[in-house]
Amino acid sequence: MDDESAVLAANDAFYVAFATGDIEAMGRLWADRPQVSCVHPGWAPLFGRAEVMASWRAVLAKPPAVTVDEARVALHGTAAVVLCRERIGKASLSASNVLVRTADGWKIVHHQSGPMAPQEQTALVLH
C-alpha cells in the first residue's frame, strides 16, 4: 500500500472508531508517544497521550453519529496532514489529522476539528 492509501486507511479507521465508540481501536490508532495533541471543537488544546486519551474516553462514552468525506492527504516526508469534513447531525466541521510514519505504520499524533460556518464571510471577522 502506498503512503497516501495507508494514511487514508488510518484516517478512515479513526472515524470508524469515533462513530462506534471503540476506545481500544482509538488508542491503537494514536501514536504511543507522549507528545500527541488534540483540539476538540471549542476546547482548549490538549497535550500529552494521557490527556488526549482521557478526552476520547469522555467523547466516546456517548459516540456521535459522525461521518467523514472529502478527505485529502498532504504528504510531508514521514509526516502527513489529512484535511477532511466531518458531519455530525446537521453540523459540518473542518478537521485536520496529522499522522507520522512509525515502525508500526502510520499513527495519529494530532487532531483538530472546528465548526464550519454556513457563510465564509462570518469567519473573516475573526481571522
Which residues contribute to the site for a second copy (CB under 8 A)? 35-37, 39-45, 47, 58-59, 64, 70, 72, 74-79, 81, 83-85, 88, 91, 93-94, 96, 98, 100, 109-110, 112-117, 120, 122-124, 126-127
Return the C-alpha cell found at 56. Answer: 476520547
CB of 9 to a second copy, least distance (A): 19
Q: What residues does 86 pair with on adjacent strands?
A: 68, 93
Question: Which residues, in sequence order, are CB contacts of 44 under 8 Å at separation 6+?
Answer: none
CA dist list (Å): 12 to 43, 46, 56, 116, 127: 23, 22, 17, 20, 30
Identity of the residue, 17 or 109, whose beta carbon is nearer to a second copy in the bound complex: 109
Give me the least distance between CB of 2 and a second copy, in Å please: 15
Nearer to a second copy, 25 or 75 (CB): 75
User: How far apart (Å, rounded) are the C-alpha atoms in residues 89 and 72?
Assistant: 22
**Residue 31 contacts residue 107 (beta carbons within 8 Å):** yes
For residue 103, the minimal CB distance to a second copy (Å) is 13
The CA radius of gyration of the chain, in Å to the nearest whole number, is 14
- Nearest to a second copy of 24, 120 (CB atom): 120
Under DSSP, the state recorded for 30 is: B
Least distance from a second copy to the Cβ atom of residue 75, Å: 7
Of 9 and 91, the one with the shorter C-beta distance to a second copy is: 91
